[in-house]
Amino acid sequence: MSEQALIDSHHHFWALDGSVHYPWLEDDVDGHFFLGDYSRIRQPFLPTDLLHQIPAGYRLAGTVHCEAESARGEPDVETEWLTRLAKEQELPSALVGWVAFADAACEAQLERQMRSALFRGVRAKPVTAARPDQYESTLGASGSLQDTGWTRGLRMLEERDLSWDLRVPAWHLADAARVLEETPALRVILNHTGLPWDRSEPGLAHWREGMRALAANPNVAVKLSELGSPMVTWHEQRNIDVLAEAINIFGAKRCIFASNFPVTGLNVSYATWLAMVEQAIADAAPDARQAILHDNAVRIYRLAGTVPASHIL
C-alpha cells in the first residue's frame, strides 16, 4: 500500500538558541495561554522533530510554518531564520509571517519579508474577547476588527496578493466576515477550525453562524486544526464531530489539514490528531481525502513551485 502524501499547513519551529527570540517561550510564562500549562513545549522544535511525529503510512510532502509570536520589534528576523532553515533542512515549504497592521512600519515590514521566496502571507491577530460574555467590551477597541487603522493592513495584503491567516474565537467570526467585505479579493485562511471554545449548545450555534458567514466568502478556506479549548476538556469524538461539521460548512475544496504542532501535542499525539481528521473526512467527505490532506494546501498556499514536483500527485 502506497504512502499518503501529507501537507501540514500549520505548525511552528523554534530553536531557542538566540536565532529568534520568543518571549513567551524563553522569558516569563504567559499565564493567559489558552491551553493552560505549556511548559512541555518550552523546548526546541525543529524539522527533525516534526518528521519524527509523522505516522507510518504517510509521507510529509511539505509544510507551512505559521508565525510563532517572536519578539514583535523585528518580525523579519523569524522569516529570515526560517528561510535559512528551509535551505538547510528542506522545511518549511512556505511561511506565514507577522506584521504590525496599525503601525507606520507595516508596509516596510511586509516588503522586507516578501524578499523570502517562502513568504505567502501574514497572521496578525486582532484584539478579541477571551470569553463570549466579554465580547462587547472589545468592540471598537484599538486593534480590534472595528479599528479601521488596524484593518488597513488587510488592504495592504490584498494589494500584494498575500493571504491573511485569520485567528479569532468563534464569537468574532461574524465580525471577521463583515470586515472582509471591504477586501473582496483577499485570500483568507481561517485558523483552528474557527476556535469553537464554547461547546454549549448556544456556543456551537454561534460558531456555526460565524462559520457560515465566512464560508459565504469564496476566498476563505479553513484549517482543520487545534480544537483545544480553555472552556471545555478534550473530548475526541466531539472534536471529530466539529471537524466533520466544518467540512460540511466550507465544502471539501476549502478545507486543509493542519497539526498546530507542537502546541496540539499538549492534548494529543500527532498520530491521533491525524486519525481524528481522517475520521472526520470519512464521515463528511470520503472522496476528498487527497484534497484535504494534500492538494488543497498546494493550491491555497501556492506550494507548486516550492514542494518538489515529485511530491505533487
DSSP string, 194-223: G-----SHHHHHHHHHHHHHHHTSTTEEEE
How many CB atoms sit inside 10 A of residue 142's CB? 10
What b-and-e string marks burial along 56-85, b requiring 16 or more CB atoms within 10 Å of the CB?
eebebbbbbbbbbbbeeeebbebbbbbbeb
Confidence of residue 241 (pLDDT cuts 50, 70, 90): very high
pLDDT score of 306: 72
Per-position DSSP letters for 132-152, written without gaps between them: GGGHHHHTT-TTSTT-HHHHH
| Dist CA 175 CA 167 (whole Å) | 12
Confidence of residue 312 (pLDDT cuts 50, 70, 90): very low
In tens, the pLDDT along 95-127 reads 999 999 999 999 999 999 999 999 999 999 999
Confidence of residue 1 (pLDDT cuts 50, 70, 90): low
- Say yes or no to pLDDT of 176 above 70: yes
| Dist CA 264 CA 255 (whole Å) | 18
In tens, the pLDDT along 134-174 reads 999 999 999 999 999 999 999 999 999 999 999 999 999 99
For 190, the grid coordinates are 481561517
| Dist CA 150 CA 107 (whole Å) | 13
Beta-carbon contacts of 301 under 8 Å, excluding residues fewer than 6 positions away, are 9, 64, 94, 120, 163, 189
98: left (phi over 0), alpha (psi -120 to 50) or beta: beta
Contact 96, 122 (CB under 8 A): yes
How far apart, in Å, are the Cα atoms of 292 and each of 44, 247, 277? 29, 9, 9
Lowest mean pLDDT of 80-89, 143-152, 208-217, 302-311, name the range.
302-311
DSSP state of 65: E
Contact 163, 121 (CB under 8 A): yes
- Smallest CA-to-CA distance from 50 within 84, 109, 9, 108 is with 9
| Dist CA 191 CA 126 (whole Å) | 13
| Dist CA 186 CA 189 (whole Å) | 10
| Encoded amino acid at 257, one letter | F
pTM: 0.95
- In this prediction, residues 274-299 reach a mean pLDDT of 98
